[in-house]
Structure 1
Amino acid sequence: MSEKQLRLTEIFYSLQGETRTAGLPTVFIRLTGCPLRCGYCDTAYAFSGGQIWSLNAIMAEVLQYQPHYVTVTGGEPLAQPNCLPLLTALADVGYEVSLETSGALPIERVDPRIVVVMDLKTPSSGELQRNLYSNIEHLKQQDQVKFVIGSREDYQWAVFKIDEYDLTRRVSEVLFSPVHHDELEPRQLAEWILADRLPVRMQLQLHKYLWNDEPGH
């Protein structure tokens, strides 16, 4: 294995807080850096800093936890070109690997064994123009699309995009998350979903309730 390098903010073992594997023990590899500045971002500490790790060192660290699930996140992981060989190396070992990406950078070169969890940025993010809609044709049935909802406008926009791109048929899960900073009551989002009989999974980000966004959780 070549000694490729990546800049990491942290590697940690925790419970997955969202997506289809919510609640399951998972190793998280958080890459440093992101070209977006979403207004509701909860990982701004990963925008800069971090430490350089070799790919071999990352693999050795992950192995210590003997995980079944591994999530590569950020920041925006795909902003680092060596994210792609990292994903492949993790899949080669046999881990079930997910990639959390903003959807602003191309995903077509991501190893097909990886579960892509792709954001579509809603209006309240302030980064609506960064959505790379050509990514949608590269989504696989196992992948997931996530919308972070902060307002009624966000909700209606997301419903329109689900219909426009037939997302509930294209991917395994469409995920709706209320913005955590009190912009939208989770109950209100739940009521909108029920009223529209929307076939999406609402998630409340378990890790925020357990550890209140502390790094390393």
Structure 2
Amino acid sequence: MPPSETTAVTLRPDSSASDRLRITEIFYSLQGEARTVGYPTVFIRLTGCPLRCSYCDTEYAFYGGQWMELEDILKRADEHTPRYVTVTGGEPLAQRPCRELLAALCDRGYEVSIETGGAIDIAGIDPRVSIVMDLKTPGSGEERRNLYTNIPHLARKDQVKFVICDRVDYEWSCAKLAEHQLDQRCEVLFSPCHGQLSPTDLAEWILQDHLPVRMQIQLHKILWNDARGH
């Protein structure tokens, strides 16, 4: 299936099953990044993504999965009695009922976050949800897909993430940080691309430039490498 067929339109259930979503996996693990790193979390990974980032580590979520009713997804999350739930992908917003899922999880009292690639409109997401949104760097190969109109919708509870592959990506990220005054709007995360950029190098650059960002290293890759279900 070519990438053009993995858009939001092809991933939506038909109108008679609008409360269903295509799910790749639901699992319980430690959050590996962002503000709640290290906390036990239920992850709900939706299937499908319109992007093809060079460093993607979840290509298995592009296709397949199974349709699940919203109530069945909520029951699976409830099994672990979590405090935190993260909806991720793929690109979870590529499925229209994702917003309904987010609201339903919030209604259950969970602290809910969504991981989104930043190429789909985030307007109208339940305000109780913490948005973790990428701005795709040149090294991702998908810089052109950044939807900068998303930035005004971000709030202090949200986060913008830059996955940085090299010095060119770093300079680009610094420029976007300044241009959009991102640190005045939300928390900013700089993450070294696993296997491409030394975390030490990135740490030194951040310190040299006195950047108002949080550096993060993906905890789950240190603990479990790229094993699924973690």
User: What TM-score bracket applies, with the shorter chain setting the length?
Assistant: over 0.9
CA distance in structure 1 between the partners assigned to 2:218 and 2:155 by the alignment: 24
Matched, 1:209 2:222: yes
Matched, 1:198 2:211: yes
- Please give the root-mean-square deviation of Cα atoms over the aligned residues, in Å: 0.9
TM-score by length of 2: 0.92
Shift of 1:194: 0.4
Shift of 1:199: 1.2
Match of 2:52 in 1: 37
Change (3 A) 1:153 1:4: same
Task: Indicate conservation of the 8 Å contact 2:46/2:92, yes or no.
Answer: yes
Matched, 1:151 2:204: no
Matched, 1:134 2:134: no
Matched, 1:65 2:66: no
Shift of 1:167: 0.5
The CA deviation string for residues 133-162 of structure 1, in whole angstroms up to 9 with x for no partner, is: 000011111100000000101001101111
Match of 2:202 in 1: 189
Matched, 1:117 2:132: yes
Task: Indicate conservation of the 8 Å contact 1:18/1:203, yes or no.
Answer: yes
Change (3 A) 1:3 1:154: closer
Moved beyond 3 Å, runs of 4+: none
Task: Indicate conservation of the 8 Å contact 1:141/1:170, yes or no.
Answer: yes
Task: Indicate conservation of the 8 Å contact 1:3/1:55, yes or no.
Answer: no
Shift of 1:213: 1.3
CA distance in structure 2 between the partners assigned to 1:11 and 1:31 by the alignment: 9
CA distance in structure 1 between the partners assigned to 2:18 and 2:194 by the alignment: 39
Matched, 1:17 2:32: yes
CA distance in structure 2 between the partners assigned to 1:32 and 1:216 by the alignment: 15
CA distance in structure 1 between the partners assigned to 2:226 and 2:214 by the alignment: 22
The unaligned stretches of length 5 or more in structure 2 are 1-16
Match of 2:188 in 1: 174
Letter in 1 for 2:193: V
Matched, 1:106 2:115: no
Letter in 1 for 2:84: Y
Shift of 1:122: 0.2
TM-score by length of 1: 0.97
Letter in 2 for 1:53: M
Match of 2:90 in 1: 75
The unaligned stretches of length 5 or more in structure 1 are none
Shift of 1:109: 1.7
The CA deviation string for residues 84-119 of structure 1, in whole angstroms up to 9 with x for no partner, is: 000000001110000000000000021111000000
CA distance in structure 2 between the partners assigned to 1:139 and 1:185 by the alignment: 29
Secondary structure (helix, strand or coil) at the match of 1:65 reads coil
Match of 2:8 in 1: none
CA distance in structure 2 between the partners assigned to 1:199 and 1:140 by the alignment: 16
Count of residues in correspondence between the two structures:
214
